[in-house]
Amino acid sequence: MIRGMYSAISGLRTHQTMLDVVSNNLANVNTVGYKSSRVTFKDQLQQTLYGGSAEGPNTGGTNSAQVGLGVQLGSIDAVMGDGSMQATGKPLDVAIQGDGFFRVGLGDPSTTPATMPTEMNYTRAGNFILNDQGYLTTPEGFYVMGRDTTTTPATDGYIQIPAGATSMAVGTNGDVSYIPAGGGTRTTAGTLSLAKFPNDEGLLRLSGNRWAAHPSAGTEQVGTPNGSTFGTTIGGTLEMSNVDLAGEFTSMIVAQRGFQANSKVISTADEMLQELVNLKR
């Protein structure tokens, strides 16, 4: 009975974690570019009551007898499926159709040469803005990195649109272009760079809807939107959260019932212990 109570306690804890993950998914149902998470469980220790034996001269063999000692958290996995596309009409909103992440970082483009970010972050949220100097940034102030493929090797750079520019647009190849103040031919300010990893699920989730590189994700592969390896970019569009409301509410019910069942085990074990105490009367 005591064993059962401790097993049930482990069940309560893991189902609480499951509910935490589900609640976070639901809280981010309208977060741009958000990737949902899921929880898996695995069994905990086993106590062997007696071991099994192979076939012998006078027996056909026996199986071992083991009692489980509860459950533990197996993993919290990121679900990297694409979210739905939503047209916004804002020219600097960008969605990625296909694989890849936008590369963003903190640096200083005002120095000569420009100080590049020492650590890159990655995001699928393309709700970009221009700062007071015309540089393309995220709402949190991270610079959106561009990629110059005309040099050997290719180099990173900032994307800046001069003051007074009009008709800003982002092409399917990642080119950020504009019409200069006073008119003229369309000019390309830079090309958005994208990154891929052998194991996207190995990235480390950060605040602000960003991800960081991690050894389990593998080595970063950098390129530009090309319609195949890195997909394409769609201007005036955002990728929404990939949270499945129906699935999350189902998971919520499963977590609730699992918690309820483990609570019932504890109360039942308590009643049985109470019966033992009452034997003295």
Q: Is the dihedral of CA 250, 80, 106, 129 positive or negative?
A: negative
CB atoms under 10 Å from CB of 264, counted, come to 11
| Long-range contact pairs involving 171-176 (C-beta distance under 8 Å, separation at least 24) | 171/233, 171/235, 172/225, 172/227, 172/232, 172/233, 172/234, 173/224, 173/225, 173/226, 173/227, 173/232, 173/233, 174/147, 174/224, 174/225, 174/233, 176/136, 176/146
Mean of the per-residue pLDDT values of the chain = 93
> Does residue 115 share a domain with residue 228?
yes
Q: Do 63 and 133 sit in the same domain of this protein?
A: no
Question: Quick one: 162 and 227 in the same domain?
Answer: yes
pLDDT tens sequence across 237-254? 999 999 999 999 999 999
Is 80 exceeded by the pLDDT of residue 1? no
- Are 229 and 251 members of one domain? no
Determine the Cα–Cα distance for residues 184 and 201; give it in Å rounded to an integer: 45
How many structural domains does the chain have? Answer: 2
| 106 half-sphere exposure, CB direction, 13 A CA radius | 4
pLDDT above 90 covers a percentage of the chain that reads 78
Residues 250 and 126 in one domain: no
Beta bridge partners of 156: 147
Angstrom distance (rounded) from CA 75 to CA 62: 34
Phi, psi of 165 (to 5 degrees): -65, 150
Over the stretch 117-165, which tens digit does the pLDDT of each residue have? 999 999 999 999 999 999 999 999 999 999 998 888 999 999 999 999 9
Assess whether 108 and 214 both reside in one domain. Answer: yes
| pLDDT value for 3 | 83
More confident call, 50 vs 108:
108
> What letter would DSSP give residue 225?
-
Same domain, 146 and 268: no
* In a shared domain, residues 135 and 263: no
> Cis (ω within 30 of 0) for the bond into 139?
no
The reported pTM is 0.87
Q: Are residues 93 and 232 in the same domain?
A: yes
Query: Helix, strand, or coil here: 250?
Result: helix
| Pairs from 196-202 (Cβ < 8 Å, separation ≥ 24) | 196/99, 196/100, 196/101, 196/220, 196/221, 196/223, 196/229, 196/230, 197/221, 200/78, 200/80, 201/77, 201/78, 201/80
Give the domain extent around 231: 85-239
Q: Is the pLDDT of residue 280 over 80?
A: no
Q: Are residues 101 and 183 in the same domain?
A: yes
Report which residue type is found at 216. Answer: S
User: How many helical (H) and strand (E) elements, i.e. helices and strands, does the chain have?
Assistant: 2, 21
Of the candidate ranges 25-29, 60-64, 162-166, the one whose mean pLDDT is the lowest:
60-64
Same domain as 252, residue 148: no
CA–CA gap between residue 105 and residue 116 (Å, rounded): 8
Q: Do 102 and 44 have their domain in common?
A: no
- On whether the CB atoms of residues 191 and 144 are closer than 8 A, the answer is no
Give residue 57's pLDDT: 82
Of residues 145 and 49, more confidently modeled: 145
Residue type, 88: T
Residues in the chain: 281
Q: Is the pLDDT of residue 171 over 80?
A: yes
pLDDT for the residue 150: 87
Predicted pLDDT at 86: 96
